[in-house]
Amino acid sequence: MDRRAFLATAAGITSATLAGCFARGSLSAEEYDVGMTSNAFTPDHHTISAGETVVWGNTNSRAHSVTAYENAIPGGTEYFASGGFDTEAAARESWTEHNGRDGGKILTGQTYSHTFETPGTYSYFCIPHEQVMTGVIVVEEK
């Protein structure tokens, strides 16, 4: 291989590799209902009918979580959190103990979904960005 051909090939491979690093994730808007930016859920309020599933998609380079506020979901409903935790305390503890390497971490291009069976208002947050990253799912009767 001559020098020019080698450099052209190397430049093409490097460009393709770097393009993946700077992309907003490999998700298209059709793959999720609620997106995750660097510090917000978009939209931060989402309304669905009972029995529907909400899909959150991380389109950002930061790791996020979807964690329900236990005291801000309808009584008697199933708790939800990325990572499959049964309680808010367990999700928070896992994130803290593992320095964000666990705790229901959703990486760039990944999704998390939950089906909402019971009408009501469900408030949730992202553990590492809780001060600015919160959301609400409103579930209406069919």
Strand partners, 111: 57
Our count of domains for the chain comes to 1
User: Has this prediction a pTM greater than 0.85?
Assistant: no
Give domain status of residue 93, yes or no. yes
Q: 1-53 pLDDT, tens per residue?
A: 554 444 444 444 433 334 444 444 579 999 999 999 999 999 999 999 999 99
Give domain status of residue 31, yes or no. yes
CATH of the domain at 43: 2.60.40.420
C-alpha distance across the termini of the chain, in Å: 66
**In terms of Cα–Cα distance, which of 115, 33, 38 is closest to 77?**
115
Per-residue pLDDT at 140: 98
Per-residue pLDDT at 126: 97
Q: Are strands 134-140 and 120-125 parallel, antiparallel or unpaired?
A: antiparallel
What mean pLDDT do residues 102-107 have? 85
Strand partners, 112: 56
Q: 19-30 pLDDT, tens per residue?
A: 444 444 579 999
Q: Which two tokens stand for residue 2?
A: 């001559």
Structural domain containing residue 111: 25-140
Per-residue pLDDT at 100: 57
> In 50-87, which residue ranges form alpha helices assigned H by DSSP?
none
Give domain status of residue 75, yes or no. yes
Classify 84 in phi/psi space as left (phi over 0), alpha (psi -120 to 50) or beta.
left
Q: 69-78 pLDDT, tens per residue?
A: 999 999 999 9
